[in-house]
Structure 1
Amino acid sequence: MKKNQGYSRRQWLKHVGQTTAASAVLLSVPSYARPASAQVVVVGGGFGGATAARYIKRRDPSIHVRLIEPAKTFYTCPFSNLYLGGLRRFEQQAHSYDDLRAQGIEIIHDIATAVDPDKKTVQLAQGASLAYDKLLLSPGVDMRWHALEGYDEEAAELAPHAWKAGAQTQLLKKQLDAMPDGGTFILVAPENPFRCPPGPYERVSMVAHYFSQHKPKSKILILDAKDAFSKQALFQDAWQHIYGDMIEWVPMSQGGRVIRVDAKQGLVETEFGDQHQADVLNVIPPQQAAQIAHQSGVADQSLWVPIDPTTFASQHVPDVYVVGDATIASPMPKSGFAANTQAKVAAAAIVNALSGQAPAEPSFTNTCYSLIAPDYGISVGHLYAVNNNQLVEASGGVSPRDADADFRRREAQYGAAWYEAISLDIWGTEPHA
C-alpha cells in the first residue's frame, strides 16, 4: 500500500475524526417536505445494508424503510478469523436486528430473488412483492463456482471456503481442531478483486497462533493467485518473528496459482503442474457480485457493479444504489468499514434525492486492522475523495514496519475497539461478551 509521505498517523486519525464529524452534520440536516409514503427498500443486512437502513431512517423518520435479510441473526466475517484462532467464541460474531426494528425499520426475513426496475418492485422468495421509490442493494459476494476446476458447492462441504461467516466457518474450525499435530493446512488465496484483501493472511496468522498453542509441529502453506497482497511486508515480518518457519507463502510467479482441486483427497494442483496434499484444505475461490446484482441489471461484464462515486447510485439502473463488496469502488477495498462509510454516503444521497436536493460532496474512510497474534496488530487506513468523477486516495498508509511491541499491542487493542464501535453503529448492540 502507498503511504503519503510527510503525513503522520496522528494527522490521519485527526482527519478521520473531522470527516466523521462532517458526515454526522450532513446526516442530521433537517429533511425537506415530501410525501409520507416514500418507500425505500434495502436488500442485505450486513455492514452496508444495515447501516444504510439505520441512517436513512435517522435522517428522515417519515420514510418507510424495509430491510430484506434472510438471516435472523447476522454473523460477521470480520473477526471470524479470531474464532478460528481460538481467541473468540462463534457467538461473539452474532448480531440481531432488534435495535433496527426498534428504530421503526421494518425487518423482513426473506430472500430477494428479483428486481423489476420498470415496475420498481422487489420480488421475495416467499411470494411478496415490494414497491420502492429508491432501492439500495448491499448483496455482498457470491463464489465463482467452477472457476477452479473441481471446486463447487459440494466440494466446499469438504474443503470449506469459510468466506461467508456461518456454517462454513464452523466447519473449518472443526477440521482444524481434528487435524493431527504435524499436519499441513493449505490456504488457497484468490486473485483480485475479492472480499477483504488482508483476510486470508490474517486467517493464516490466527491458524498459526492456534497451531503454536496446540499443534506446534504443523505447517501452513499459502498458494496464492497473486504476486503481492495487502500489508505484505508487515505480515511477513511478523510471521518470521512470531512463528518462524511454520508459514510458507508461494506467489503466483513461483507456482502458487491453483487451477484444480480434489476436495475428497485434499489435493490441489497448480498451473505449473505441482500437486500439494493438505490435511485441512481451505479454498477461497474467485468471487463476483451476488446474484441479485446480475439479475437486476446493475452488474456489468466485469461481474461487479459500477457506481456513481458521489452517491453510489448504479450507473445502469435508475433509483438503485449499491454499496459494499459487490461494487467497483477501487481504490477502496472490499471491507466492512468501506461498506459502512459508503452506506452513509448513499443514505444521505437517497434522502436528498427524495426531497429534490442535490447530493453533497462526499468523503470516505477505511481502516483494516489485522491480528497476527493476541498482542500483535497491524493496520492500513486511507481517506478517499472524488476527483473527476473517480474515487482516489487522499491520504493514509500502513503501520510502520519498525514499530515496537507496545505499538503492536495497541494496534491489537484498536482493532478490538473498532469492532465494538462499528457493531454499535450498525446493529445498535455491542458484540456478545
Structure 2
Amino acid sequence: MDPNLKVTLVEPRRSYFTYPFSNQVLGGMKTMEELTYSYKKLKRKYGINVIHVAAARINAVSKTVLLQDGKSLTFDRIIVAPGIDMRFDQIENYKPEDTDFIPHAWKGRSATLRLLQQLESMPNGGMVLICPPALPYRCPPAPYERASLVAHYLSQHKPRSKILILDAKEQFPKQALFSAGWKSLYGRMIEWFNGSAGGLILRADAKNMTVETEFGIEKGDVINLIPAQWAGRIARASGLSDESGWCPVDQLTFESTLLPGIHVIGDAAIAGVMPKSGFSANNQAKVTAAAVIALLKGKEPTSYSISNTCYSFLAPDYAIYVTAEYQLSGRELVKIKGSGGVSPLNVDLSVRHSEAVS
C-alpha cells in the first residue's frame, strides 16, 4: 500500500501453520506439511524486516516493544495480532499440562498433531468426546466441522466408534445444516447435547480420561476439550484487554480504545457482531493497514464495508457455507440488513459437492 514505509514483523515462529484448515488434517484431507508456510517471501518480495523473537510487552507511552531477548523496538504505530489464550481456570481441574492427554487443538501445530495421534491410536468402537465452549471463541463453527471430519476418518478406519459433542451452548452455527449432514453421511455416529441437557463441562480428569457435567461423568478414549478463551498474553500484559478479556477497538481503524497508537486485529479484537474467524481477521488486517497509512500521513481514514465467509467441510466432497456483509454504524460494525446467507437446506448432493470445491 505504501512502499516507503519501514515495516517490521515480530514473530517467534519460523513457519506459519494455517489453523483455519487444521480440521482437514484430522479428516485425512491434508497433511501438516501442506498447511505449513515460511515467512521468507515477506522479506524477499516485500522487503519486510522479519524478527523471529517473541514480543513480551508493548508500551504505548514510550512507543516501544520489549522483546523476550531483552531488546526493544520503537514504533510510530503498531498493529498487534495477539491471538487467543485458553482460560483453563473456567473448568475445574483442567490445567495447561493436561493438554498432553486432553488436547484442545485450538492453537499450535503440536496440539493438532497430538489429537491426530490419539485418533489414530484409539480402538475401533471407541468414544470421542468433543467439548466446545460458550461464545465468544475462535471460529464458532469449527468444533462441528471437526466432529464431521473426525467422523469421516472414523467411518473409514474405525466405523464402530462414536462421537459425543458436549456443548456449553444451547445452539450452534449452521446447526440445521450440520445436523442434516451428519445424519446423511454418518447415521448415528455423532450425538450432540446442549448445555442444559448435560453438555456443560464442569470438571476434567486427564488421568482417568473423563469429564464431568451436571448430569454425570463421561469417559472418552479421546477427549477434545476446548476451554473458554480470551485475548493472548501480550494483549493482557500490555493493558489492551478489558474486563471481558478481549480488546476494545475503534472499529473504523481497529485502534485500541484503551491505548492510542496500538491497533488490534484478529481474534483478540472486539469487532462488533463480526465472528472471530480467519476470513474476518484477514479483511480486518487490510482495513487496518489502510487506516494506519492514512493516519501516518495525517489523513482521516475512510469508512468501509467488510465481509465474512465461512465454509465448513462435513466430508471431503461435502461442504456448507455462511456469509455476511458488515458496515460501520457510528464506530461499530453491524450486519448489513439482507446481506449474506447460508447454504440451502434439503438440496441435491451435487450442491454440497460444488460447495466443497468453491
TM-score normalised according to structure 1 size: 0.81
The 3 A distance-change label for structure 1 pair 165 and 411 is: farther
In 1, the alpha carbon distance for the partners of 2:330 and 2:291 equals 19
Which of 168, 192, 213 lines up with 2:156 in the alignment?
A: 213
In 2, the alpha carbon distance for the partners of 1:288 and 1:330 equals 16
Measured on the aligned residues, the alpha-carbon RMSD in Å equals 0.8
In 1, the alpha carbon distance for the partners of 2:88 and 2:198 equals 22
Q: Which residue of 1 is the match for residue 281 of structure 2? A: 339
Q: Which residue of 1 is the match for residue 93 of structure 2? A: 150
The DSSP-based 3-state class of the residue aligned with 1:74 is strand
In 2, the alpha carbon distance for the partners of 1:83 and 1:330 equals 31
The DSSP-based 3-state class of the residue aligned with 1:307 is strand
Structure 2 counterparts to residues 121-132 of structure 1, below 5 A: 121-132=64-75
Percent identity over paired residues: 49
Structure 2 counterparts to residues 60-71 of structure 1, below 5 A: 60-71=2-13
In 2, the alpha carbon distance for the partners of 1:105 and 1:400 equals 43
Which of 228, 233, 251 lines up with 1:286 in the alignment?
A: 228
Residues 1:412 and 2:352 aligned together: no
Report if the CA contact (8 A) 2:91-2:203 is conserved. yes
In 2, the alpha carbon distance for the partners of 1:206 and 1:328 equals 30
The DSSP-based 3-state class of the residue aligned with 1:133 is coil
The DSSP-based 3-state class of the residue aligned with 2:267 is coil
In 1, the alpha carbon distance for the partners of 2:31 and 2:207 equals 29
In 2, the alpha carbon distance for the partners of 1:310 and 1:220 equals 42
Residues 1:249 and 2:164 aligned together: no
In 2, the alpha carbon distance for the partners of 1:68 and 1:401 equals 44
In 2, the alpha carbon distance for the partners of 1:165 and 1:84 equals 14
Deviating 4+ runs (over 2 angstroms): none
Deviations 1:322-354 (A, max 9, x none): 010001113111111100000000000000000
Residues 1:87 and 2:87 aligned together: no
The DSSP-based 3-state class of the residue aligned with 2:66 is strand
Report if the CA contact (8 A) 1:76-1:165 is conserved. no
Q: Which residue of 1 is the match for residue 334 of structure 2? A: 392
In 1, the alpha carbon distance for the partners of 2:242 and 2:284 equals 20
Structure 2 counterparts to residues 69-108 of structure 1, below 5 A: 69-102=11-44, 103-108=46-51
More RCO (CA 8 Å, sep 6+):
1
Q: Which residue of 2 is the match for residue 222 of structure 1? A: 165
TM-score normalised according to structure 2 size: 0.98
Deviations 1:396-422 (A, max 9, x none): 1111112221111111112xxxxxxxx
In 1, the alpha carbon distance for the partners of 2:285 and 2:316 equals 31
Q: Which amino acid counterpart does residue 353 of structure 1 have in structure 2?
A: L
The DSSP-based 3-state class of the residue aligned with 2:266 is coil
Q: Which runs of 5+ in 1 are unaligned?
A: 1-58, 415-433
Report if the CA contact (8 A) 1:75-1:95 is conserved. yes
Report if the CA contact (8 A) 2:55-2:67 is conserved. yes
Q: Which residue of 1 is the match for residue 345 of structure 2? A: 401
Q: Which runs of 5+ in 2 are unaligned?
A: none
In 2, the alpha carbon distance for the partners of 1:373 and 1:150 equals 34
Q: Which residue of 2 is the match for residue 269 of structure 1? A: 212
Aligned-pair distance for 1:283? 0.6
Q: Which amino acid counterpart does residue 119 of structure 2 have in structure 1?
A: L
Deviations 1:125-152 (A, max 9, x none): 1121000000111111000122101111
Residues 1:187 and 2:130 aligned together: yes
Report if the CA contact (8 A) 2:250-2:256 is conserved. yes
Q: Which residue of 1 is the match for residue 268 of structure 2? A: 326
Aligned-pair distance for 1:306? 0.7
Residues 1:377 and 2:319 aligned together: yes
In 1, the alpha carbon distance for the partners of 2:357 and 2:347 equals 15
The DSSP-based 3-state class of the residue aligned with 1:123 is strand
In 1, the alpha carbon distance for the partners of 2:37 and 2:268 equals 22
Report if the CA contact (8 A) 1:139-1:290 is conserved. yes
Q: Which amino acid counterpart does residue 141 of structure 1 have in structure 2?
A: I
Deviations 1:184-226 (A, max 9, x none): 0001111110000000000000000000000000000000000
Report if the CA contact (8 A) 2:272-2:332 is conserved. no
Deviations 1:268-307 (A, max 9, x none): 001x241100001111000000011112111100000111
